[in-house]
Amino acid sequence: MSLKIWIDGKLVDKADAKISVYDHGLLYGDGVFEGIRVYNGKIFECEAHIRRLYDSAKAVRLKIPLSAGELKTAMEQTVKANGFTECYIRVVVTRGVGSLGIDPNKCANPSVFIIADLIQMHAKEMYEKGIAVITSSIIRTHPNALSPRIKSLNYLNNILARIEANDAGVADAIMLNEEGNVSEATVQNVFIVRAGQVQTPTTHDGILEGVTRGVMMQICRKLGIECVEKTLQRLDLYIADEMFLTGTGGEVIPVTKIDGRSIGSGEVGPITRRLKDAFHQRTRE
């Protein structure tokens, strides 16, 4: 069965889901997007994702031509049309078709498309054994250049860091900000555990405020595990007892090695396991 893609109000076959070569999302990365999970037929943290999408669009002066309610309905239609109860949704809003040249005023109407498909970021055994990462030489985008809090279509900064991870033969890379402090992985937020306390970089450290990151912080509070937002340096990762990454696609993935150094005992730690299990339970509720 061919996948159905929602594009500008219509569900079409994947092979027929096309955008113009003059769309500024393609020409200049001028647009925003969200990645969202569906568990048991329900869109996970739907309101949080929609709010972040509209915030990103507002930040880049892009008006989404749908209300939040209409967008949610369109996502539900796309999932239903493809018969999924477990899947990944990608919602993309571009500036739309325009002329050559970056002026957004030359684009008449924004374009919206929605994909519902399967995704697997890491092999299953990695969730039990953990992954290895490196520290990237690519610095996270400065907030006064393009704020990392905007989930835009321009991911070259992250992609270059991911190429370094590929070259090193590891699963991901940790990016530092302009001050040399820990920001995030290429598409996931960073958490460490130190003396029983869970720590994660702040919004001032060059991170995208991940929806899964927010859920994880809620889970910590619910379980009575202290969780704090604080600026972390590379050294903090080296001396951490445990480390894990969170994101919509990767969910909760343990990290057991960084820059060739074992984290803690070199195995997935007890707090990481507890939080990972609690997150999976949350997605089933």
Q: Which residues are catalytic?
A: 151
Q: How many CB atoms lie within 10 A of CB 105?
A: 6
Report the candidate in 4, 281, 30 with the shortest Cα–Cα distance to residue 117: 4
Q: CA 185 to CA 167: how far, in whole Å?
A: 16
256 within 8 A of 267, measured Cβ to Cβ = yes
185 within 8 A of 175, measured Cβ to Cβ = yes
For strand 4-7 and strand 227-229, is the pairing parallel, antiparallel, or unpaired? unpaired
For 264, phi and psi rounded to 5 degrees?
Answer: 60, -125
